[in-house]
């Protein structure tokens, strides 16, 4: 599977843009401000239903306009199909997320936030992967998040005015929360087992080291059955009322990555952090490659935004090794000198965000 064309109207800085890609490695070259990252963001948004840059969809629409559109033509085996995404300020919520018909994996400077950022960024990474092969997962997450909001609202009201009737209502929410929490955490834990299976070997290959890498899911409840979660919720009731939020459940899960016994969020060099983040992308690709034989997945398209920026020659060569046999890779760069000389690629020049290119 590969993306043949991308057409944009009023998306970010692009008034009108049309870009044609080929199989293999495509490198989009242009000065800063020409819309290279916006192009990858549009592909990511159209295929994965979210932006890696912002949660405010109004920012995706070119200033002075009320709507934007993204159109992808994707080639799969012997036929082509179209993915059309409309973005409008008048629509408050996106429609229900549907299974991906074109799968992409994105590396960008923001990927480092998965390593260094808050637990939510790591949960989101896990959730986005699971949602691509478990089509019930997104719906379960939405219901779980709604329950958490309602329970937290009750906790805050109890903090201000304690009423036994409100506590009884809270117990009703506890059983529902526990049911979804058990399911979500179990699926995250299963995915983390896969991540752990591949992560150490891939990381040490890229870094050319022999570090001890550990990956595990940190949970708020060690015995993560529905009954145990309910007991913990009720046991923590006073604490939750005092704090005004729920302290037990899948919303507290975190992905722990350790290098030689130290958390990846510790004192690591810029190169080490980059390697940890890039390994996430390689692991994600490996997971979908492994699932391809049993779940009829196509190999994902790789989107690599500024992947060569700020890294040394050795790591650039590791990127080349990783992408060499992939069906389609789209890379952006502002400086052609960053591209390793042994990389064979299709060159795409973008001179202006509002001009057509291809």
The two structure tokens encoding residue 139:
């719906």
Residue-wise DSSP of 292-320: HHHH-PPPPEEEEESTTTT--HHHHHHHH
Domain span at residue 283?
119-296
Residue at 112 is within a domain = no
The domain that contains 237 carries what CATH number? 1.20.1050.90
Asked whether 39 and 6 are in contact (CB, 8 A), the reply is yes
Torsion over CA: 347, 351, 352, 356 (sign) = negative
CB 27 within 8 A of CB 48: no
Along the 358 residues of the chain, how does pLDDT read in single tens digits?
Answer: 899 999 999 999 999 999 999 999 999 999 998 999 999 999 999 998 888 888 888 999 999 999 999 999 999 888 899 999 999 987 655 544 445 678 899 999 899 999 999 999 999 999 999 988 888 999 999 999 999 999 999 999 988 887 777 788 888 899 999 999 999 999 999 999 999 999 999 999 999 889 999 999 999 877 668 889 999 999 999 999 999 999 999 999 999 999 998 889 877 888 899 999 999 999 999 988 875 444 456 789 999 999 999 899 999 999 999 999 999 999 999 999 999 999 999 999 987 544 333 3
Same domain, 68 and 209: no
Whether 320 and 209 map to the same domain: the answer is no
Q: What is the pTM of this model?
A: 0.89
pLDDT for the residue numbered 130: 92
**Ramachandran region, residue 249 (left: φ > 0; alpha: ψ -120 to 50; beta: rest):** left
303 and 291 within one domain:
no
- Dist CA 293 CA 78 (whole Å): 19
Same domain, 286 and 302: no
Tell me what pLDDT residue 164 has.
75
Q: What angle do CA 270, 319, 356 make, to 5 degrees?
A: 100
* Domain match, 197 and 126 both: yes
The token pair that represents 71 in the structure block: 């159109």
Place of tokens 């057509």: 356
Indicate whether 150 and 31 sit together in one domain: no
- Residues 85 and 200 reside in one and the same domain: no
Q: Provide the domain count of the chain.
A: 2
Residues 291 and 186 placed together within one structural domain of the fold: yes
- 150 shares its domain with 257: yes
Measured CA distances, 125 to 94, 187, 251 (Å): 20, 13, 13
278 and 354 fall within a common domain:
no
Q: 230-234 — which CB contacts under 8 Å span 24+ positions?
A: 230/174, 230/175, 230/178, 233/174, 233/177, 233/178, 234/171, 234/174
């Amino acid at each position: 599977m590969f993306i043949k064309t991308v057409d944009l109207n009023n998306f970010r800085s692009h008034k009108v843009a049309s870009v044609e890609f080929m199989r293999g490695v495509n490198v989009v070259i242009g000065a800063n401000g020409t819309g290279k990252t916006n192009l990858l963001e549009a592909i990511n948004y159209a295929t994965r239903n979210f932006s890696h840059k912002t949660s405010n969809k109004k920012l995706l629409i070119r200033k002075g306009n009320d709507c934007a559109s993204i159109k992808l033509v994707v080639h799969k085996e012997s036929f082509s199909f179209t993915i059309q995404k409309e973005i409008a300020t008048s629509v408050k919520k996106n429609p229900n997320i549907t299974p991906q018909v074109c799968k992409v994996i994105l590396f960008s400077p923001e990927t480092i936030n998965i390593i260094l950022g808050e637990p939510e960024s790591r949960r989101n990474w896990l959730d986005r992967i699971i949602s691509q092969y478990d089509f019930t997962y997104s719906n379960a997450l939405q219901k779980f998040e709604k329950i958490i909001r309602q329970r937290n609202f009750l906790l805050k009201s109890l903090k201000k005015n304690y009423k036994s009737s409100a506590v009884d209502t809270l117990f009703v929410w506890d059983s529902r929360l526990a049911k979804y929490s058990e399911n979500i955490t179990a699926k995250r834990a299963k995915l983390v087992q896969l991540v752990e299976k591949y992560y150490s070997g891939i990381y040490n290959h890229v870094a050319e080291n022999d570090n001890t890498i550990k990956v595990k899911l940190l949970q708020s409840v060690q015995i993560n059955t529905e009954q145990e979660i309910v007991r913990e919720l009720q046991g923590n009731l006073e604490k939750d009322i005092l704090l005004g939020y729920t302290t037990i459940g899948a919303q507290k899960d975190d992905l722990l990555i350790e290098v030689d016994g130290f958390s990846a969020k510790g004192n690591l060099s810029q190169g080490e952090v980059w390697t940890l983040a890039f390994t996430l992308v390689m692991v994600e690709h490996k997971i979908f490659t492994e699932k391809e034989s049993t779940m009829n997945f196509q190999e994902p398209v790789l989107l690599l935004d500024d992947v060569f920026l700020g890294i040394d020659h050795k790591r650039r060569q590791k990127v080349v090794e990783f992408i060499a046999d992939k069906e389609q890779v789209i890379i952006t760069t502002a400086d052609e000198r960053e591209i390793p000389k042994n990389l064979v690629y299709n060159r795409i020049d973008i001179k202006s965000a509002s001009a057509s290119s291809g």
